[in-house]
Amino acid sequence: MANENDRKVVEKIRNNYIDKSKEHSKLEELKALDKKVKVPAMVFAYIFGTIGTLVLGVGMCLAMKIIGDAMVAGVIIGLIGIVMVVANYPLYHKILNKRKAKFSNEIIAKSDELLNK
């Protein structure tokens, strides 16, 4: 007879090979759709925000004459970086709302199935 810890390990391994129920697979589909809506907007926001921050930093370094003697160019580049960073949040929401509109009917239908409505 196996002790309690061995039994838990055996059950955990066994559960990996049992077919998932239809309810569980529907829930997984709903989660996947939700991820499909949110992830592209988040990836864009992280990449665009990082680029904007780097542009702002280069502009600051130029303006403070750390990496060159181009104060005017540094201020202009820094302002471009500030605009990028400020625009990041509204752009994120715009992308997210477009994706929500695109997938909303499908997500609502799946969630209604799960809630038995």
pLDDT (0 to 100) of residue 61 = 94
Q: Specify the pTM.
A: 0.72
pLDDT (0 to 100) of residue 114 = 81
How far is 95 from 20, CA to CA, in rounded Å? 33
Kindly give the parts of the chain with pLDDT less than 50.
none
Residues 48, 83: contact at Cβ < 8 Å? no
pLDDT (0 to 100) of residue 15 = 76
pLDDT (0 to 100) of residue 91 = 98
Specify the amino acid at residue 84.
M
pLDDT (0 to 100) of residue 29 = 86
